[in-house]
Structure 1
Amino acid sequence: MKRNRFFALCLAFVMTLSLAACGNSEVPADSAPAELEEPKSSENPQLEVLEWNLAATLAEDHPMTIALNAFADAFAEETAGRVQIKVYPNMMLGSETEQVEMARAGTAAMVVGGLSTLAVYDDGLSVYSLPYIFRSYDDCEEYLSDSEYGDNIWESFRQLTNLRFVALELNGARCLSTKNVQVQSVKDLNGVKIRCMDAPLWQDVFTAFGAVPVPIAFTELYVALQTGVVEGQDNPINVSYAQKFYEVQKNIYKTEHNYNTTFVLINDDCWNQLTADEQAVFNDLVDEYLYDYYYELYWPYEGEAIQVMEEAGVRIWEQDEFDIQSFWDAADGMINEKYMTNAAYADSINSIREYFQY
């Protein structure tokens, strides 16, 4: 698995017959880009050129997409053009679920997916979305990407899905925001309507905090905040910035009750098409670009988001400015009551608590 260097550097579519994931798969003509680069010729004529696509979720200018493109370019260069990866950002190939299915089938060689999507295939992954299951970015990355537990998690997932773990990208932490309600502890959320995702786990989170969870589609959230249908929401700071939620919210609390974990995965059959030397190069470049370079880009990106929002009059509350312990305690109480009774969840929860001595 990957070294924990997080804080060190603070479709069904392919090109006609020429662009494929693991081999040559046709795609609808109306979904193909207008212009394509000619494939570079491999210096090793005995090995076929592999033309892969990578199904990504975020916009072209997001640090994750930039890092994925840099990785793809570097891998093509290091393999003398034998392995050429085309990154399709912004869910161009379909919804996240559809893209994961494409990668499972080999129509896409690689895919980016979040925990909620991957948990459809392995419900045990849902445990890592529980509030405060990890208490820091560093702990989250270490456990899921750089530990024996992580190895076991992803080996099990590979056997279930034919998808192999490549990298974990942390895309911010979910933070509570409100318009008029000032929050110093969970007591101040009593009866406050907070938007949540339409899933039992997320409703449990805000119920535990004393709020009234209101499931609302993400695409409808801005208007719901603007009109007062809900009084608050939770998203990573960079998402609140990108979606301009700060225009209709005046307080952002760094509750960081959940880390937005996104995973890069590769179809196992595609992986096995690489030579041993290419696999070693692939892993080295993952460290260089999908960890180090990504975070070099991400932290200034989030810093810019904070600056713009503060200039717009938003107050960013640090954890020492409100009672973060009350949030931890409320989350632990809910987890102990509702999730420790599930043996599969309990084993994972206990292993995390023991590992980090929470």
Structure 2
Amino acid sequence: MAKKAKVLALAAILAASISVGFAEAKTLKMATDSGAKGSPAGAAIEAWAKAIESGTKGDVKVSIYYQNELGGQQEVFDLLVAGDVDLMLNWPLTSYDKRIGVLYTPYMFTTWEEALEAYKPGGWLNKILDNVYSQIGLKFFGAWPEGFNGVATKGRFATTVDGAKGIKVRVPPVFPFSETLQALGYQTATVDWGELFSAIQTGVVDGDAANVIYWDYEYFRDVLDHYVQTKQQFLTGMLTMNLEEWEALTPEQQKVVQDAALSVMQKQFKEARALDESFVEKWKAKGNKYIEPKPEEIQTLAQKVRTEVWPRLEKDIGSELMKPVRENSAKF
């Protein structure tokens, strides 16, 4: 009987330890506001989730939600700030803090090298964003670069301000996208991403003017036929986490989550340019036109936009943030 009692006692201890292990395990919700399963963004969050689960030996599980599965761009960002989504790769809106708009400053960069240097861990723009994000309750891991955006249109295109007159393009409801395109000579309209295809088809707008070529190829290659890489912004997603949920993790779990994010970012830093160029070739192979303005045309556009938009941006985000932008941006 004594032996049986010992066995039962050991079984009870083992059961208790297992139940404690289960109690300590947690599930994090991870989302992206842009990118379906199979997209580059979808693959990035899958890799991040897998590395977290592997690194914590299953103590942290991750549930993944792709574009539109939890709502639109604004709704999902709301969920992140509220803590209903824990981890996110997103293209942030400025509704909670206009200072986030610093990353959309037009014509900060003219080359990939300049942009990647600014966004890398420890880079001057990375440090600014880290500080801003922490003040709105988010842990900032870093940037997931995509590349320079441009203007995709149907039937006609422009490389000058005068040439853009009469062309109406869609922009997201984020300052200073609309202001930038208006300075470039275009008319603008804010159209929800989910309604953009039909808006182009029905002539509500003549094109899309916010994205790197991947998005225009993937979603609109059959209704748009020109892409002008005006390079007004260098676009990047951001890997972030709700700060309260971050602080609820153990130090060991925090290290795994952060290291996994860094690994995903490093991969994208190495591969982003080649990925962008591959979609340029796919766009051309479809029979669509890809136009790169001459350097002097880019310079003219950049100077006009900086003159008109930068002072308005400075009013919104403050001179303290614009000072390093002015000091570190590309020189003309």
Secondary structure class of the residue paired with 2:214: helix
For the structure 1 residues 223 and 114, does the alpha-carbon distance in structure 2 shift closer, same or farther, using more than 3 Å as the test? same
Letter in 1 for 2:197: Y
The alpha carbon displacement at 1:281 in A equals 3.2
Contact 1:141 1:168 in 2 (8 A): no
Letter in 2 for 1:64: A
The alpha carbon displacement at 1:156 in A equals 3.8
Write the deviation string for residues 79-127 of structure 1: whole angstroms up to 9, x where unpaired: 2211122221123222333323333333322123323x2x111111223
Q: Does residue 46 of structure 2 align to residue 73 of structure 1?
A: no
**Structure ID, larger Rg:** 2
Contact 2:157 2:228 in 1 (8 A): no
Q: Does residue 54 of structure 2 align to residue 61 of structure 1?
A: no
Aligned residue in 2 for 1:183: 158
Could you list the runs of 5+ residues in structure 2 that have no partner in the other structure? 1-16
Measure, in 1, the Cα distance between the counterparts of 2:297 and 2:316.
Answer: 31
The alpha carbon displacement at 1:300 in A equals 5.3
The alpha carbon displacement at 1:157 in A equals 2.6
Could you list the runs of 5+ residues in structure 1 that have no partner in the other structure? 1-40
For the structure 1 residues 293 and 337, does the alpha-carbon distance in structure 2 shift closer, same or farther, using more than 3 Å as the test? closer
RMSD over equivalenced CA pairs, Å: 3.0
Identity of counterpart residues, as a percentage? Answer: 21
Measure, in 1, the Cα distance between the counterparts of 2:26 and 2:296.
Answer: 53
Aligned residue in 1 for 2:171: 196
Aligned length: 312
Q: Does residue 88 of structure 2 align to residue 114 of structure 1?
A: no
Aligned residue in 2 for 1:220: 195
The alpha carbon displacement at 1:182 in A equals 4.1
TM-score, with structure 1 as normaliser: 0.75
TM-score, with structure 2 as normaliser: 0.81
Contact 2:114 2:330 in 1 (8 A): no
Measure, in 1, the Cα distance between the counterparts of 2:318 and 2:330.
Answer: 18
Aligned residue in 2 for 1:146: 122
Contact 1:339 1:346 in 2 (8 A): no
Aligned residue in 1 for 2:186: 211
The alpha carbon displacement at 1:76 in A equals 1.6
The alpha carbon displacement at 1:298 in A equals 4.7
The alpha carbon displacement at 1:239 in A equals 0.6
Measure, in 1, the Cα distance between the counterparts of 2:88 and 2:300.
Answer: 38
Letter in 1 for 2:328: Y
For the structure 1 residues 99 and 319, does the alpha-carbon distance in structure 2 shift closer, same or farther, using more than 3 Å as the test? same
Match of 1:91 among 62, 68, 84: 68
Measure, in 1, the Cα distance between the counterparts of 2:174 and 2:138.
Answer: 25
Letter in 2 for 1:97: Q
Contact 1:183 1:322 in 2 (8 A): no
Measure, in 2, the Cα distance between the counterparts of 1:240 and 1:114.
Answer: 16
Measure, in 1, the Cα distance between the counterparts of 2:156 and 2:273.
Answer: 28
